[in-house]
Amino acid sequence: MSYPNQNPYGPPPGQQPGYGYPQQQPQQPYGPYPGGGGMPGMQPQYPTVMPGGVKAARVMLFVLSGLNLIGLILAVMGLGGVSKASHNVSPYTAADDVTAMNVGKGLLIAVIVLIVIFTAVAITLALQFANGGGGVRVGAIVFGVATIMLSLFTFPVGLVHTVLGILVIAFTSKDESKFWFNRPRY
Protein backbone atom coordinates (compact mmCIF):
# COMPACT_ATOMS: atom_id res chain seq x y z
CA MET A 1 0.00 0.00 0.00
CA SER A 2 1.40 3.40 -0.93
CA TYR A 3 0.85 6.42 1.15
CA PRO A 4 -0.68 9.46 -0.51
CA ASN A 5 1.45 12.51 -1.12
CA GLN A 6 1.60 14.51 2.11
CA ASN A 7 1.56 17.81 0.23
CA PRO A 8 -1.26 17.75 -2.34
CA TYR A 9 -0.05 21.05 -3.85
CA GLY A 10 3.63 20.19 -4.15
CA PRO A 11 5.40 18.35 -6.97
CA PRO A 12 4.84 14.61 -7.24
CA PRO A 13 7.62 12.42 -5.86
CA GLY A 14 10.54 11.82 -8.18
CA GLN A 15 10.07 15.04 -10.12
CA GLN A 16 12.50 17.95 -10.06
CA PRO A 17 11.51 20.59 -7.54
CA GLY A 18 10.00 23.61 -9.20
CA TYR A 19 9.48 21.88 -12.56
CA GLY A 20 6.18 22.98 -14.05
CA TYR A 21 5.36 25.34 -11.20
CA PRO A 22 5.75 29.12 -11.22
CA GLN A 23 8.71 30.41 -9.27
CA GLN A 24 7.97 32.70 -6.37
CA GLN A 25 9.80 36.03 -6.60
CA PRO A 26 10.43 38.14 -3.51
CA GLN A 27 8.23 41.21 -3.48
CA GLN A 28 10.04 44.54 -3.53
CA PRO A 29 8.28 47.83 -2.90
CA TYR A 30 9.30 49.60 -6.11
CA GLY A 31 10.82 46.88 -8.29
CA PRO A 32 14.21 45.19 -8.44
CA TYR A 33 15.86 47.69 -10.78
CA PRO A 34 16.67 51.37 -10.31
CA GLY A 35 14.00 52.33 -12.81
CA GLY A 36 11.44 50.30 -10.88
CA GLY A 37 9.13 47.68 -12.33
CA GLY A 38 9.26 43.99 -11.67
CA MET A 39 8.09 42.21 -14.80
CA PRO A 40 8.77 43.11 -18.41
CA GLY A 41 5.94 44.95 -20.08
CA MET A 42 4.46 46.26 -16.82
CA GLN A 43 4.57 49.84 -15.62
CA PRO A 44 7.02 50.42 -12.76
CA GLN A 45 5.53 51.06 -9.35
CA TYR A 46 6.30 54.50 -7.94
CA PRO A 47 5.04 55.97 -4.69
CA THR A 48 1.93 58.08 -5.04
CA VAL A 49 2.09 59.58 -1.55
CA MET A 50 5.09 61.42 -0.16
CA PRO A 51 7.02 58.97 2.09
CA GLY A 52 7.45 59.75 5.77
CA GLY A 53 11.18 60.45 5.54
CA VAL A 54 10.62 62.98 2.77
CA LYS A 55 7.88 64.67 4.80
CA ALA A 56 10.22 64.83 7.80
CA ALA A 57 13.00 66.41 5.72
CA ARG A 58 10.52 68.94 4.37
CA VAL A 59 9.38 69.87 7.88
CA MET A 60 13.02 70.21 8.98
CA LEU A 61 13.67 72.61 6.11
CA PHE A 62 10.74 74.74 7.25
CA VAL A 63 12.04 74.62 10.84
CA LEU A 64 15.50 75.68 9.63
CA SER A 65 13.98 78.60 7.74
CA GLY A 66 12.05 79.64 10.87
CA LEU A 67 15.21 79.52 12.97
CA ASN A 68 16.98 81.54 10.27
CA LEU A 69 14.24 84.19 10.46
CA ILE A 70 14.78 84.44 14.23
CA GLY A 71 18.52 84.81 13.62
CA LEU A 72 17.79 87.45 10.97
CA ILE A 73 15.78 89.50 13.45
CA LEU A 74 18.59 89.27 16.00
CA ALA A 75 21.23 90.22 13.43
CA VAL A 76 19.23 93.25 12.28
CA MET A 77 18.79 94.34 15.90
CA GLY A 78 22.55 93.93 16.42
CA LEU A 79 23.27 95.99 13.30
CA GLY A 80 20.97 98.71 14.62
CA GLY A 81 22.81 98.72 17.93
CA VAL A 82 26.24 98.94 16.28
CA SER A 83 25.05 101.72 13.95
CA LYS A 84 23.61 103.66 16.87
CA ALA A 85 26.86 103.26 18.80
CA SER A 86 28.94 104.40 15.82
CA HIS A 87 26.85 107.57 15.47
CA ASN A 88 27.38 108.42 19.13
CA VAL A 89 31.17 108.30 18.87
CA SER A 90 32.88 111.47 20.01
CA PRO A 91 35.39 113.14 17.73
CA TYR A 92 38.13 112.37 20.26
CA THR A 93 37.68 108.59 19.99
CA ALA A 94 40.60 106.59 18.67
CA ALA A 95 40.56 105.67 14.99
CA ASP A 96 40.88 101.99 15.91
CA ASP A 97 37.51 102.06 17.67
CA VAL A 98 35.79 103.59 14.63
CA THR A 99 37.44 101.03 12.34
CA ALA A 100 36.33 98.20 14.62
CA MET A 101 32.75 99.45 14.50
CA ASN A 102 32.84 99.69 10.71
CA VAL A 103 34.22 96.13 10.47
CA GLY A 104 31.48 94.99 12.85
CA LYS A 105 28.83 96.61 10.68
CA GLY A 106 30.28 94.99 7.58
CA LEU A 107 30.32 91.55 9.20
CA LEU A 108 26.74 91.94 10.38
CA ILE A 109 25.62 92.98 6.90
CA ALA A 110 27.37 89.91 5.43
CA VAL A 111 25.69 87.68 8.04
CA ILE A 112 22.30 89.20 7.23
CA VAL A 113 22.76 88.58 3.50
CA LEU A 114 23.84 84.99 4.19
CA ILE A 115 20.83 84.38 6.46
CA VAL A 116 18.45 85.78 3.82
CA ILE A 117 19.96 83.52 1.14
CA PHE A 118 19.78 80.41 3.33
CA THR A 119 16.20 81.18 4.37
CA ALA A 120 15.08 81.68 0.78
CA VAL A 121 16.78 78.45 -0.37
CA ALA A 122 15.29 76.43 2.51
CA ILE A 123 11.76 77.66 1.81
CA THR A 124 12.14 77.13 -1.95
CA LEU A 125 13.43 73.58 -1.52
CA ALA A 126 10.73 72.68 1.01
CA LEU A 127 8.00 73.95 -1.31
CA GLN A 128 9.42 71.95 -4.24
CA PHE A 129 9.35 68.61 -2.37
CA ALA A 130 5.78 67.94 -3.53
CA ASN A 131 6.75 68.35 -7.20
CA GLY A 132 9.84 66.18 -6.87
CA GLY A 133 12.71 66.05 -9.29
CA GLY A 134 16.29 64.91 -8.87
CA GLY A 135 17.52 68.49 -8.62
CA VAL A 136 15.38 69.15 -5.56
CA ARG A 137 16.83 66.09 -3.82
CA VAL A 138 20.41 67.04 -4.68
CA GLY A 139 19.71 70.64 -3.67
CA ALA A 140 18.39 69.51 -0.29
CA ILE A 141 21.48 67.38 0.30
CA VAL A 142 23.81 70.25 -0.69
CA PHE A 143 21.80 72.63 1.50
CA GLY A 144 22.17 70.21 4.43
CA VAL A 145 25.94 70.05 3.94
CA ALA A 146 26.22 73.85 3.68
CA THR A 147 24.09 74.25 6.81
CA ILE A 148 26.35 71.88 8.73
CA MET A 149 29.50 73.65 7.56
CA LEU A 150 28.23 77.12 8.51
CA SER A 151 26.72 75.98 11.80
CA LEU A 152 30.11 74.69 12.95
CA PHE A 153 31.33 78.32 13.07
CA THR A 154 28.67 79.10 15.68
CA PHE A 155 29.00 75.82 17.53
CA PRO A 156 27.05 76.15 20.76
CA VAL A 157 24.26 78.17 19.17
CA GLY A 158 24.45 76.37 15.82
CA LEU A 159 24.10 72.88 17.29
CA VAL A 160 20.41 72.75 16.37
CA HIS A 161 21.27 73.68 12.78
CA THR A 162 23.95 70.97 12.73
CA VAL A 163 21.54 68.27 13.87
CA LEU A 164 18.78 69.38 11.49
CA GLY A 165 21.26 69.54 8.59
CA ILE A 166 22.40 65.98 9.30
CA LEU A 167 18.80 64.77 9.45
CA VAL A 168 17.90 66.51 6.17
CA ILE A 169 20.84 64.75 4.50
CA ALA A 170 19.93 61.39 6.02
CA PHE A 171 16.25 61.54 5.10
CA THR A 172 16.76 62.76 1.55
CA SER A 173 19.50 60.18 0.89
CA LYS A 174 17.28 57.17 1.62
CA ASP A 175 15.98 54.90 -1.15
CA GLU A 176 12.35 55.87 -0.54
CA SER A 177 13.34 59.49 -1.13
CA LYS A 178 15.15 58.55 -4.33
CA PHE A 179 12.05 56.78 -5.63
CA TRP A 180 9.86 59.75 -4.66
CA PHE A 181 12.02 62.34 -6.41
CA ASN A 182 12.64 60.15 -9.50
CA ARG A 183 8.98 59.28 -10.10
CA PRO A 184 7.46 60.31 -13.42
CA ARG A 185 5.56 63.58 -13.32
CA TYR A 186 2.71 64.08 -15.74
pLDDT tens for each residue of 47-58? 778 888 999 999
In a domain? residue 41: no
pLDDT of 123 over the 90 cut? yes
Number of domains in the chain: 1
Q: What are the tens digits of pLDDT across the range 156-184?
A: 888 999 999 999 999 999 988 888 888 88
The pTM (predicted TM-score) of the whole model is: 0.68
How far is the C-alpha of 163 from the C-alpha of 144, rounded, in Å? 10
DSSP H helices in 46-153: 52-87, 95-128, 134-151
Amino acid residing at 107 = L
In a domain? residue 1: no
In a domain? residue 16: no
Compare 170 and 1 and report the one with higher pLDDT: 170
How far is the C-alpha of 16 from the C-alpha of 95, rounded, in Å? 95
Mean pLDDT of 29-52: 62
pLDDT of 35 over the 70 cut? no
Compare 147 and 105 and report the one with higher pLDDT: 147
In a domain? residue 128: yes
Domain residues for 87? 52-181
In a domain? residue 134: yes
pLDDT of 60 over the 90 cut? yes
In a domain? residue 122: yes
Mean pLDDT of 4-17: 61
